[in-house]
Amino acid sequence: MTKRFGDFVAVDGVSLAIAPGEFLTLLGASGSGKTTTLRMIAGFDQPTAGEIWMEGQSIHLLPPNKRNVNTVFQNYALFPHMSVWDNVAYGLKMRRVAKAEIAERVGQVLEMVHLEQLARRAPRQLSGGQQQRVALARALVNRPKVLLLDEPLGALDLKLRKEMQLELKHLQTQVGITFVYVTHDQEEALTMSNRIALMRAGRIEQAGTPQEIYDRPATKYVADFIGETNLLSAQVRAVAGDRAILDVEGQTIDAPVPASGSVPAAGSQVWLSVRPEVMAILRDGESPPGHNVLVGTVQEGLYAGSLTRLRLRLAGGTSLVLHVAPTGTAVAPGQQVRIGWPAARGVCLAE
C-alpha cells in the first residue's frame, strides 16, 4: 500500500500479512505512517496505490461500515448522555438487531470487561480505565473480524496503562479476534504483541516477534529504537557464515550478523549493538568461554531500584552503559574494569 497527501508520501509501499487471531502492533515514532496504515485498513483513508484483502475479499474500496472491522480510538468517543449499557448497545440498535439478542450480547461483553455492575452509570462517573473498557466493549459487541486500536491507552497514567496492557492482552486471547494495535510506546509493543512491525518514514523497517526485534535487530535504527542499547563503532576483519569478526578499539570481537539485515564486507565500518543487561563486570583473571571482553573506566553509577546503571568509558572515548544488580560487584568512579558478554548476545549491523 502507498498513501500520498499531495507531494508527501505517508505510507511508502507497505506489504504485510496478518494472521487470524494475531495481536500485531504497528510501532513507530510520530510521522512513521502507522496511524495512516491503520486508517486505510479501517476505510477512513483510501490507498493511493495497492490493495487490502481480508479473508480472500478485496475491501479497500468498501466504505468503513461495510468492512467487518471496528476501531477503538485514544479519546474513546463515548456518548456522554448515554449509560454504559446504552453506549455498548448503540451499534447493535443501529443495525436493528433484535432486543433479546442485544440484551444477551451486551450482557456478555460487559461481563467480559468486568463492567456488568456499572451498566447504568454515565461515562462521567467512570475512571479512565473504566471508560477504556466501555470503548472496547462497544467495539467487541459487534463481533468484528479485526479490531483496530489507535493508541487507546495513551491518555491513561503510567500505572493504569500498565494494568490495561495486561488486561487487553488477556482479553484478546480470550475472544480470539485479530488485533491491529498502533503505538509509539516500545514497552507496550513488547509486552502485548505476538508480532511487531516497526515503521519508519512510511516503510516497515523490520517485522518479527518481540524477541526477534529486541534480540536480533536488522538495522541500527531498530536496535536504537527498541529498548536501550550500546552502539559501538567497529570495523569488519572477516565474515564467516552468520558470524563477523570485528575490531572495536583494537580489540577482537565476535558477533552474529542478523539474518534479515545486509551482510557487511571485510574492511567495512559497522555498528556493534550490545544490550546493557547482557554485559557484566568480570573478576580479575576471569575469562568465560565464548565471551567478548573489553576494558573500560567507570564514570558513574546510578541506582534505579531493581538495577544500577553503570556508565563506563573505553580507552578510545566510547561510552558504555551496563545494568547490574545493586548487590553485585562494587565499583567506584575512576576504577578500571573488564566487561564481558556472550558473543551470541551482540549483533553486527551494517552502516
Closest CA to 67 of 78, 75, 59: 59
Full-model pTM: 0.88
% of the chain at pLDDT higher than 70: 98
| Residue that has been written with the C-alpha cell 550478523 in this structure | 257
CATH number belonging to the domain at 2-215, selected among 3.30.43.10, 3.30.70.1450, 3.40.50.300, 3.30.720.120: 3.40.50.300
Residue 115, Cβ neighbours under 10 Å: how many?
20
**pLDDT digits over 238-288, tens only?**
988 889 999 999 999 999 988 766 678 888 999 999 999 999 999 887 788
Distances from the Cα of 48 to the Cαs of 1, 12, 238, in angstroms? 8, 10, 45
| Residue that has been written with the C-alpha cell 568480570 in this structure | 282
What are 346's three cell numbers?
A: 551482540
Closest CA to 25 of 199, 153, 141, 224: 199
% of the chain at pLDDT higher than 90: 66
pLDDT at 293 over 90: yes
The pLDDT of residue 326 is: 75
- What average pLDDT does the chain have? 91
What CATH code would you report for 220-350? 2.40.50.140
Determine the Cα–Cα distance for residues 224 and 13; give it in Å rounded to an integer. Answer: 24
| Residue that has been written with the C-alpha cell 449509560 in this structure | 83
What are 158's three cell numbers?
A: 503510567
What are 210's three cell numbers?
A: 518481540
**pLDDT digits over 55-65, tens only?**
999 999 999 98
Residue 316, Cβ neighbours under 10 Å: how many?
11
Name the strands in the sheet holding 319-324, side by side, starting at the edge strand that comes first in the sequence.
280-282, 336-342, 291-303, 308-314, 319-324
- Cβ atoms of 155 and 74 within 8 Å: the answer is yes
The pLDDT of residue 307 is: 86
Determine the Cα–Cα distance for residues 151 and 25; give it in Å rounded to an integer. Answer: 10
C-alpha dihedral sign at 68, 151, 169, 80: negative
- With residues binned 3-state (H G I as helix, E B as strand, rest as coil), the percentages for the chain, rounded to 5, are 30, 35, 40
Distances from the Cα of 325 to the Cαs of 221, 281, 294, in angstroms? 28, 11, 20
Domain extents for the chain?
2-215, 220-350
Give the number of C-alpha atoms closer than 13 A to the C-alpha of residue 325, restricted to the C-beta side.
3
Closest CA to 189 of 209, 175, 219: 209
The pLDDT of residue 75 is: 80
Of the given ranges (19-28, 179-188, 286-295), which has the lowest mean pLDDT?
A: 286-295
pLDDT higher for 299 or 73? Answer: 299
Amino acid type, 83: S
**pLDDT digits over 220-242, tens only?**
999 999 989 999 999 999 988 88
Determine the Cα–Cα distance for residues 62 and 293; give it in Å rounded to an integer. Answer: 58
Closest CA to 275 of 315, 226, 308, 234: 226
Residue ranges of the alpha helices (H) in 69-194? 84-94, 99-112, 128-140, 158-175, 186-192
- Cβ atoms of 165 and 186 within 8 Å: the answer is no
